[in-house]
Structure 1
Amino acid sequence: MNVHDPGPPGDSGLTVRDLAVSYGPVTALRGISLEVPRGSVVTVLGGNGAGKSTLLRAISGTLRFHRGGITAGEIGFGRARLSGAATSAVVAHGVVQVPEGRKIFARMTVEENLRAGALGARDRRSASESRERVLTLFPVLAERARQRAGLLSGGEQQMLAIGRALMARPKLLLLDEPTLGLAPMMAARIADTVREINAQGTTVLLVEQNAALALSLASHAYVLEVGEVVLSGPAAELAESDEVRRRYLGIGDDRDEAPLAGAAPARPALSRWSA
């Protein structure tokens, strides 16, 4: 595991180099570098405010909708340069985001939401094939096709949000907290779906606060802290890291001594992690 390791070698579908992002005078990301090889699942971990969602917004071209902007660095996907590109151009290159909080069209039906996701489809056949794929992954959406999306359960809404993104036939799917607020059983179903989507050939960049789940899905992981990459490496290695286990998996170090009665609890070390 290395600090600022650019990531695993191989065919890099997505490359981010020295990325900096600001919201007005506030710097949200600085010096971010990472790679997402084609066909892989890569995860980004970090606490609230670490910059995870900002990273996905920078990649998907949606920063401008949040009054943010890229101030330095490059983002590429294959031979395409994504940094500074309009959201429509990013989608045209095969990069599609499922935002945190689902952001479905609540007053529209399930079917209408799916059709909205296929607006950029090349032809009717392409849209029909995408719809068939989505309904195979999520049979419940076929059952709810004429129902208003806002009446779906939280888990069903997340399925719809992912399904709508898949209608655009993405090469790279950006998932922002897909299990947030879901019951454990539903979160497990979403995780199985992510595995299936990846097995079908779609590359996935996953932002997820459920670190145990994320590390079980990914081959490689990055940890953000206050807008910087502080740790990266193979997901299996990070899952065994004492620091990651303590901060994100809720597993303490058995070697730690119990505090004396009446003593103030020790503060966690917040210094930059070393390799």
Structure 2
Amino acid sequence: MDVHDPRPPEDSGLVVRDLAVNYGPVLALRGVSLNVPRGSIVTVLGGNGAGKSTLLRAVSGTLRFQRGGITAGEISFDRVRLSGAAASAVVAGGVVQVPEGRRVFARMTVEENLRAGALGARDRRSAAEARQDVLTLFPVLAERAGQRAGLLSGGEQQMLAIGRALMARPRMLLLDEPTLGLAPMMAARIADTVREINARGTTVLLVEQNAAMALSLASYAYVLEVGEVVLSGPAAELAESDEVRRRYLGIEARSEDDRDDRDAPLAAASAGRPVLTRWSA
């Protein structure tokens, strides 16, 4: 499979084409293209410094807060151009980011954090409906409504960060490392929550270093290295790629004999499936 996205451009959903981003003289992204069709979960994998968070900032319009900027390419969501738009305009357009590190308002209560997420709501009824949806998704937030956010556990803070984003009733959610620093059990709960959010109709672009979890959630995946897309394909196929397994799943490549013995039924069942292109080590 080609390292560039082979799928045709989508009229709906997120479309990124030939994106380049600089932080001053430093080139952080170069020629990045990806599609996130409406209603899907797409994940972006890569090591530290690969450009994953920069990609989300470019989409959400928050690059300028880190003194970065788009120098080439285009971003659109549901046919509306986002390239160069202010962060507030991106949120108004239905795209909301949950940043890495949770970043809740620690001195404000849980309830106040949720209200902050609804500042752009059309009316009180819409805000009330969003709040009810969030509390149904995260019942613990109802129990902690009057508690300062800084006193919540790490997992509860992540729930609050996601819930605050959902208060804006997004059509697309950008998630940056939602399981970072969480215990395995809590990480699994967050993964289940992402599935539920998507099942309710919200499109998700997921940046996540827990590659196994990310690939289990997503239908399609991209791999970034040093600011470029080096591999892309259906998530299930990337999960079977020896290079992805070695670099991101911590699994050594299987021998040819093992592959022949264990994968013969799968290979026969999937005859004609495109072969993933590997990149040089």
TM-score norm. by structure 1 comes to: 0.92
In terms of fraction of residues, the more helix-rich structure is 2
Aligned residues: 260
How many angstroms does 1:79 deviate by?
A: 2.0
Aligned to 2:86: 86
Shift in CA distance, 124/6, structure 1 to aligned 2, threshold 3 Å? farther
Measured in 2, the distance between the counterparts of 1:185 and 1:169 equals: 27
- Aligned equivalents of 1:9, 1:90: Cα separation in 2: 20
Instruction: Please give the alpha-carbon distance, in whole angstroms, between the structure 2 residues aligned to 1:207 and 1:155.
Output: 17
1:273 lines up with 2:279 in the alignment: yes
- Structure-1 residue corresponding to 2:136: 136
For residue 7 of structure 1, report the CA deviation from its aligned partner: 4.1
CA drift of 1:254 comes to 3.7
Query: Given that residues 58 and 70 in structure 2 are in contact (C-alpha distance below 8 angstroms), is that contact kept between their aligned partners in structure 1?
Result: yes
2:56 maps to amino acid: L
**Structure 2 match to 1:159:** 159
Map 1:178-217; keep pairs closer than 5 Å: 178-217=178-217
Contact (CA 8 Å) 1:8, 1:220: kept in 2 or not? no
CA contact (8 A) 2:9 2:15 kept: no
C-alpha deviations, 1:142-194, integer Å up to 9, x for none? 00000000000000000000000000000000000000000000000000000
Residues 121 and 224 of structure 1: is their aligned pair in 2 closer, same or farther, counting only changes over 3 Å?
Answer: same
What displacement does 1:5 show? 1.6
| Alpha-carbon distance, 1:255 to partner | 2.8
Instruction: Please give the per-residue CA displacement for 1:56-103, whole angstroms capped at 9, x wherever unaligned.
Output: 000000000000000000000012100000000000000000000011
Residues 1:53 and 2:49 aligned together = no
Distance 2:70 2:77 in 1: 16
Extract unaligned runs of 5+ from structure 2: 257-277
CA RMSD, Structure 1 to Structure 2 (Å): 1.5
User: Could you tell me the percent identity over the aligned residues?
Assistant: 87
| Partners of 1:11 and 1:252 in 2: CA distance | 39
1:247 partner SS: helix
| Aligned equivalent of 1:98 | 98
Q: What are the Cα deviations for residues 12-47 of structure 1, in whole angstroms up to 9, with x where unaligned?
A: 400000000000000000000000000000000000
Query: Paired residue for 1:22?
Result: 22
Alignment-mate amino acid for residue 152 of structure 1: L
SS for the counterpart of 2:255 is coil
Which amino acid is the alignment partner of residue 241 of structure 1?
S
CA contact (8 A) 2:195 2:217 kept: yes
8 Å contact from structure 2 (residues 21, 30) kept in 1? yes
* TM-score with structure 2 setting the length: 0.90
> Which 4+ runs in 1 deviate beyond 6 A?
none
Deviations 1:233-275 (A, max 9, x none): 000000000000000000002439xxxxxxxxxxxxxxx717x
Q: Quick one: distance in 1 between partners of 2:51 and 2:154? A: 25
- Aligned partners of 1:8 and 1:37 also within 8 Å: no
- Corresponding residue for residue 262 of structure 1: none
2: distance between equivalents of 1:24 and 1:129?
A: 43
> 1:146 maps to which residue?
146
State how far apart, in whole Å, the 1-side matches of 2:18 and 2:46 are: 18
Equivalent residue of 2:13, what SS?
strand
What is the SS of the residue equivalent to 1:164? helix
| Distance in 1 (alpha carbons) for counterparts of 2:2 and 2:102 | 33
Contact (CA 8 Å) 1:6, 1:35: kept in 2 or not?
Answer: no
Q: Residue type of the partner of 1:46? A: G
In structure 2, the CA distance between the partners of 1:7 and 1:110, relative to structure 1 (3 Å rule), is: farther
Alpha-carbon deviation of 1:6? 4.9
1:260 corresponds to which residue?
Answer: none
Asked if structure 1 preserves the Cα contact closer than 8 Å seen for 2:242 and 2:254, the reply is no
The alpha-carbon distance between structure 1 residues 7 and 66, as it changes in their structure 2 partners (threshold 3 A), is: farther
**Deviation string for 1:195-252 (max 9, x for gaps)?**
0000000000000000000000000000000000000000000000000000000000
1:111 corresponds to: 111
Supply the AA of the counterpart residue of 1:183. Answer: A
